[in-house]
Amino acid sequence: MYLSSTEQAWLDGEGGPALKRAMEIIVALGNIYHAERLIPIKSVQISGVSYRNLGAAGLDFLRRWAAEGAQVRVPTTLNPTAMDMTDWAAQNFSPDFAQKQQAVVDAFAQMGVGAGAPIPTCAPYLIGNRPEPGDHIAWAESSAISFANSVLGAWTNREGGPGAIAAALTGRTAAYGLHLAANRRATLYVEVSAQPRTIADYSALGAWVGKRAGKHVPYFAGLALERDEALWQDKLKALGAAMAATGAVALYHVEGVTPEALAGPVLAPNPSHLVVDNFTPGYTMLSDDVEAIDLIWVGCPHASLAEIERVAGVLKGKHVQIPLWVTCARPLKEAAIAQSFASVIEAAGGHIFADACMAIAPLRKLGFEAVATPSAKGAFYLRNLAGVAARFGSLAQCVEAALTGRWPEGG
């Protein structure tokens, strides 16, 4: 793999041990994927932030890298933590866990992530880290990767946790995979013959297609979605997140909607074919057969302000019997407070928590065993990572469950 003289010097240790380690990771990845060179990147999104998943060894690794002088070279944002960084006690986290989770964020802050004050979120594109079409970036959160590639038209692979940190420290990534135009063409033609209406329907569609797509690049034809309709980006956010969870889809195109599909033909020769005529299988494949629900979780991926407004609208005048938590980036929580959506949600007994992702939280330790969510990705990881039972359904079904503590009959 070709390296510039600067890159070679960094690899030889001339920029210090932190940069040398980062270069070793980037070069190793490049060699594995037969990249010919490195390319400069505009931004990075780092994943792997929950102390529950990192543990003491992960925290120690980050602290040592930071202590060696590691500093990011490009704007870098941080994935969610397990908890609201200020309101964790209301989520029942222990002070010990909170202290360790804070130490993880502090290590990233020391490296210059978030300009030294990271705002944990898996939807960085909603709070300013919003790449332009054609920008090369190195993101590690699968739902954000899908959104950046597909909806924004930026170019990124599915980076791993250490790979993304290394990219942030070097400002470079190896030129392979979705950084090459030839790999961005659609290889799976998805004919949608029933129209998804809600965000949850898009999520169910994504769950079903993702399971069949694997690493394919899907092309959706027949979706009645317009770029100027309400919530169109939230619908695609849900679609992409689900496909990234049940499959390994990092890029998809939607006829007449996504930037690369609008710019010209994107279908590869002889694509595979898939027809979707209803969304029930997408809902049922991620639901456990549990009736009693003890937590409702909305905001996977992190909710936009429009989604928070929608939750407030559905909850207005009601009162929930079990916890209902909405997760989002902190600036959007502040906006929700300013626009009174938060007070409506709180009056109904719900809460908005910033920074947090419940799929990477120690949910059983927090006292939860069965969680309902309108997110396919959320349900997938609740079952496979958090180790709790999950129900995946519409927002209306989830709110109904919140009012009774039981999943609605026939839902």
Q: Which residues bind ligand F3S (CB under 6 A)?
A: 79-80, 122, 143, 241, 300-302, 327, 357, 359, 377-378, 381
* Closer residue to ligand F3S, CB minimum distance, 21 or 351: 351
* Closer residue to ligand F3S, CB minimum distance, 194 or 231: 231
Q: In the complex, what is the shortest distance from the CB of residue 358 to ligand F3S, in angstroms, rounded to a whole number?
A: 7
Q: In the complex, what is the shortest distance from the CB of residue 67 to ligand F3S, in angstroms, rounded to a whole number?
A: 27
Q: In the complex, what is the shortest distance from the CB of residue 342 to ligand F3S, in angstroms, rounded to a whole number?
A: 19
Nearest to 173, CA basis, from 139, 149, 142 = 139
Q: What are phi and psi of 179, to 5 degrees?
A: -85, -5
Reading the block at residue 187, the tokens are 């290889």
* Closer residue to ligand F3S, CB minimum distance, 266 or 295: 295
Q: In the complex, what is the shortest distance from the CB of residue 388 to ligand F3S, in angstroms, rounded to a whole number?
A: 13
Strands (E), 300-346: 324-328
Q: In the complex, what is the shortest distance from the CB of residue 382 to ligand F3S, in angstroms, rounded to a whole number?
A: 8
> In degrees to the nearest 10, what's the CA dihedral of 375, 379, 380, 386?
130
> Residue 400 carries which side chain, given as an amino acid letter?
E
Q: In the complex, what is the shortest distance from the CB of residue 106 to ligand F3S, in angstroms, rounded to a whole number?
A: 20
Distance of CA 347 to CAs 12, 128, 322, 333, 344, Å?
Answer: 59, 30, 14, 16, 5
Order of all β-strands in the sheet with 186-192: 253-254, 218-221, 186-192, 267-276
CA atoms within 13 A on the CB side of 115: 3
* Closer residue to ligand F3S, CB minimum distance, 30 or 362: 362
* Closer residue to ligand F3S, CB minimum distance, 163 or 301: 301
For 100, residues 6+ apart whose C-beta sits below 8 A from its C-beta are 51, 56, 59
Q: In the complex, what is the shortest distance from the CB of residue 6 to ligand F3S, in angstroms, rounded to a whole number?
A: 34
* Closer residue to ligand F3S, CB minimum distance, 80 or 118: 80
Contact 288, 254 (CB under 8 A): no
Reading the block at residue 106, the tokens are 């502090």
> Residue 396 carries which side chain, given as an amino acid letter?
A
* Closer residue to ligand F3S, CB minimum distance, 234 or 255: 234
> Residue 319 carries which side chain, given as an amino acid letter?
H
Reading the block at residue 60, the tokens are 């120690």
Q: Where are the alpha helices (DSSP H) in 76-198?
A: 95-110, 142-147, 161-170
